[in-house]
Amino acid sequence: MALRRLAWVAIAVIGCSGKPKQPATVTGADGKTCEPGRCLEDFSKQISERKPQTRACYDAFLVSKPGVKGRVVINFRVDPNGDVTETSQGMQDAQIDDETLVACISDVLKTVKFAKSATGKATRAYHQFEFSPR
């Protein structure tokens, strides 16, 4: 009897030990499912931490085109390890269309380390940058 009770205690301790598992997907603020740490709002938060660098890209652009303001939408792919492996300018209308500016912002994005994928999948996302002269 005591041995049987000890076996149940051992099973309970082993079964309850460790960290609780995160769900494989969650619902992001945009209503779409995503992996924890890999939702659009997660990406936006981390990208906003690089605002001084993306602003420097825009300020350099202003030297050749003073007064231009607007947005730039960058599409990007995050590999399973959390690295940005591809970038391109979004196809939306009414954007600042300058290859040098887009390349500079893309280079900044490639320095961001995002959360690893719990399921080993790549994630495609985008970010909209709004710029205006100071």
- CA dist list (Å): 72 to 4, 32, 54, 105: 66, 23, 11, 9
Pairing of strands 123-131, 70-78: antiparallel
State the average pLDDT over residues 36-62.
96
Q: What are the structural domain ranges in the chain?
A: 25-131
Residue 23 pLDDT class (50, 70, 90 cuts): low
Q: DSSP alpha helices (H): ranges in the chain?
A: 2-16, 40-48, 51-64, 99-109
Q: What is the pLDDT of residues 71-127, one digit of tens each?
A: 999 999 999 999 999 999 999 889 999 999 999 999 999 999 999 999 999 999 999
- Specify the CATH class of 25-131 in words: alpha beta
Six-digit token string for 110:
């490639």
**Tell me, what's the pLDDT at 7?**
39
Q: Under a CB-based contact definition with an 8 Å cutoff, are residues 80 and 117 in contact?
A: yes
This prediction has a pTM of 0.79
Provide the pLDDT confidence category of residue 24 given band limits of 50, 70 and 90: confident
